[in-house]
Structure formats: structure tokens, C-alpha cells
Amino acid sequence: DAEITQSPRHKITETGRQVTLACHQTWNHNNMFWYRQDLGHGLRLIHYSYGVQDTNKGEVSDGYSVSRSNTEDLPLTLESAASSQTSVYFCASSRTSGPTGELFFGEGSRLTVL
Amino acid sequence: GQQVMQIPQYQHVQEGEDFTTYCNSSTTLSNIQWYKQRPGGHPVFLIQLVKSGEVKKQKRLTFQFGEAKKNSSLHITATQTTDVGTYFCATDSGGSNYKLTFGKGTLLTVNP
């Protein structure tokens, strides 16, 4: 069955370290997204991509970057982790077809920055 | 981008009682999607509404899209403990814009 997987599921790191969260989907979806979820804020969009070599900033992109070298993967990198980036991160994907298709979410990656 | 406000933020009910969460926007929405997230889980798509005044039902869940396409609601009849979780509404900006903006969600707890 097609799926979307995130790794690691849990990570503890120190302030200033670089961290990469992986996201891999086998749906063959063109659209991929990274959200962070914090209490009281719901789901906020970090970065998104509509296809290979395409990346776009979301509403909370500062301190994060993504790259899209193939259809299946959209890794999220925290260049220099900060305590404010402690959060649960969700990767999601969707089809390119109108109207907007449903998002398929990964299981989430819980990141703690000490 | 589009913004949607969800109320209430929290709702605690006795099992068997009804539950409603509302999603409101100051601008006309192209569509609205609803997701459910169980505690410790990830959001799961429930439904998408596109048409003005649209009403869709899934067993005990009823979804409505307002006539002006500025609000939506999710109503659960006779809640069960399996309904516990956070319910989110989400919308995009229309056209070829596939990114969704989520409301902050309504956390539903059910007392058995």
C-alpha cells in the first residue's frame, strides 16, 4: 500500500545543531508539505513543494529549509536548531488535481531542542 | 492567505450528547476540508465541501458549508468515546493553490 513515512519519530538535539527530518511518500504525489503543530497554534505551514526542484516558503519558514530532488522525498532541515523549534512536525502530501485534494499526513516527528 | 477561525477551542461532553464545532471566515472560501486527529496521532481527512449550502453526512457526522461560503460546521450526533480528538477545518486560496491553512482546532473530550 502507498504510504508516507517520517523519520526519526522522536529526536532530542541541542541548540545550534543542524537537524534533518526525513519525509518519504510512495503515493507519487506532486504536492508535499511540512507543518509544525504547537499547543494553541494548530497546524502551521513551514514549507511546501509542488514538484521536483520546486520549493516555497510557508507562514513560519524562518530557520527551516527544504529541497526536492525527486518526487518521493521532501527533507526538512533546521540549519541551527533553537528551543523555539521544539515541536511536532508533520509531513503531508496531496495529488495535483482540482479541486484541492485531501492531505495525507505522516505519523509525525517530535523534536525537542535543549 | 485565507484564515479560518474555529470555535470552540475545547468541548467536553457526556457520552450520548451532541457536539458541534464551527469554522468561520471573513472572506468567501473556495472549499473547506475537515480533519480529525486522535490524541497522539496525525490528522486524518474526513471530508471536503465545495458547493454553497452543501450538506454531507457520514454516519453520525454531519458537515455543512454555509450559503455564503464563509462558514462551515461539523455536528456529531450522540457522541461516543471513539469521537475523542481534535477536529480541524482547513481551506486553500483556490485556483491552483494546493496549500491548506488550518484552523486551530476544537478538542473534543467525551466522558463515558
The answer to whether A81 and A91 are in contact (CB under 8 A) is no
Helix (H, G, I), strand (E, B) or coil at A51: strand
Distance of CA A3 to the CA centre of its chain: 15
Q: Model confidence over B29-44: pLDDT tens digits? A: 989 999 999 999 999 9
Instruction: Search chain B and give the residue with CA nearest A39.
Output: B104
Separation of alpha carbons B10 and A86, rounded Å: 23
Per-residue cell: B97: 493553490
Where are the alpha helices (H) located in A13-100, listed in sequence order? none
Separation of alpha carbons A82 and A67, rounded Å: 21
Q: Model confidence over A26-59: pLDDT tens digits? A: 989 999 999 999 988 889 999 999 999 999 999 9
**Are the beta carbons of A103 and B45 separated by less than 8 Å?**
yes
Sign of CA pseudo-dihedral A108, A95, B29, B56: negative
Residues of chain B scoring pLDDT < 50: none
Average pLDDT (A4-24) is 98
Q: How many Å lie between the alpha carbon of A108 and the closest alpha carbon of chain B?
A: 7
Q: What pLDDT, on a 0 to 100 scale, did the predictor assign at position A100?
A: 58
Mean pLDDT of chain A: 94
Q: What pLDDT, on a 0 to 100 scale, did the predictor assign at position B2?
A: 67
Q: What pLDDT, on a 0 to 100 scale, did the predictor assign at position A101?
A: 77
Separation of alpha carbons A113 and A94, rounded Å: 29
Q: Model confidence over A64-101: pLDDT tens digits? A: 999 999 999 999 999 999 999 999 999 999 986 655 57
Q: With beta carbons under 8 A apart, name residues in chain B contacting A25.
A: none
